[in-house]
Amino acid sequence: MLNFDTDRFLRIQSGAIALADALHDEIVGCLRRGARNLFFVGSGGAGILMLPAARLLQTRSTFPVHVEAPAELVAAGSAHLGPQSVVVIPSLSGTTAESVEALEYCKERGATVITLTGHADSPLAERADSSFVNFAEDDTSCESFYLQSLVLALALMQERGEIADYAEVVAELRLLPQALVEVKAAFEERAELFAEQIAHEPYHIITGAGSTWAQAFYYGMCILEEMQWIRMRPVHAADFFHGTLELVDKDVSVITLKGEDESRTLVERVEAFVPRYTDKLSVFDTAEFALPAISERTRALISPVLLATALERVSAHLEIKRDHPLTTRRYYKNVSY
């Protein structure tokens, strides 16, 4: 595979799932100490990667869950935030300014702050009530954050008696790192073809629903816009027919990300409409990925993980075909803003 280190990838994703027991014990401890709500508070991409776990809890648990942008939480506050709140703040670097400010804001209000970072010697890791550290970099952070937040959500539901198969799901997740390598290898040829196809298109619409919406949002904004300067329009499949459909014509590229949960039909509705007006429809369906050791139940939970691991292969080829390294930025961390 192009520019891919298998051992490094396995080490990072195995490290993420190795945190499962500690994450379980942490959230269970918070609940038993009287926690009454949960906040996911992440900036940019790291915040987006919390969305599948938040959505799982919002649809399968009665425990109150809030998703807030750190800067907005500090600016506007929340009547729900207080001493009985648990706040999860993800940041790969552990230095994101808005997230550090939000950590202090939440602690001042008595909340318990849990951070997920890639570096133990960072402000977010050092100042949190509980810190979980798994080194990763941009090309491996999606799977790592998805897995950590998923385990946390499942552990909360288990403690509340809202799921009965926590142990079985986590046992399957421990098998996932090697399975993801196999998904990447099988997808490599298609990844290169797709990178060639979109490398010089001027504009794309990317959509998903349910657990795949996060990956559509993340890949469109954080990879194709930020890292490749490709103009994108991420839109939730449920909103596609409330504005964005008017931008579809024969010259517009539409990318759909389809998972295996109940929201799959929302993406299929887009897929049924788009070919009538453009032949530039690209469909990525997690059901096409072979995962012999993973049950249907767990597959539905890890759809964003599978898409992230496949699309990373597209990114590896895109930076070559566009002669634009994924690390090249004009403004991000280069100028004041």
Q: What digits encode the pLDDT tens for the residues 11-61?
A: 999 999 999 999 999 999 999 999 999 999 999 999 999 999 999 999 999
Contacts of 129 (CB under 8 A, 6+ apart): 107, 112, 113, 114
Q: Please determine whether the domains at 6-173 and 176-321 fall in the same fold group of CATH.
A: yes
Q: Which CATH code fits 176-321?
A: 3.40.50.10490
Give, in order, the Cα–Cα distances in Å from 331 to each of 268, 316, 336, 337: 37, 22, 8, 8
φ, ψ of residue 81 in degrees (nearest 5): -85, 130
Neighbours of 200 (CB within 10 A): 9
Residue 336's pLDDT band, with cuts at 50, 70 and 90, is confident
H or E element in which residue 206 lies: strand 204-208
Architecture in CATH of 6-173: 3-Layer(aba) Sandwich (3.40)
d(CA 238, CA 157): 27
d(CA 131, CA 114): 6
pLDDT tens per residue across span 60-94: 999 999 999 999 999 999 999 999 999 999 999 99
Q: Is the dihedral of CA 8, 49, 186, 293 positive or negative?
A: positive
pLDDT tens per residue across span 250-283: 999 999 999 999 999 999 999 999 999 999 999 9
pLDDT at 156: 98
CA proximity to 91, closest of 65, 69, 64: 69
C-beta of residue 289 within 8 angstroms of C-beta of residue 190 = no
d(CA 1, CA 309): 13
3-class DSSP state of 270: helix
Residue 333's pLDDT band, with cuts at 50, 70 and 90, is confident
Q: Is 138 exposed, middle or buried (0-12, 13-18, 19+ CB in 10 A)?
A: middle
Average pLDDT over the chain, rounded to an integer: 97
pLDDT exceeds 90 at position 337: no
d(CA 132, CA 94): 11
d(CA 159, CA 11): 29
pLDDT tens per residue across span 283-298: 999 999 999 989 999 9
d(CA 311, CA 188): 10
d(CA 14, CA 184): 16
User: What are the domain boundaries of the chain?
Assistant: 6-173, 176-321
> In 3-state terms, the chain is what percent helix, strand and coil (to 5)?
55, 15, 35
CB-based burial, 74-95: b 16+ in 10 Å, e otherwise: beeebeebeeebbbbbbbbebe
Q: What percent of the chain has pLDDT over 90?
A: 98
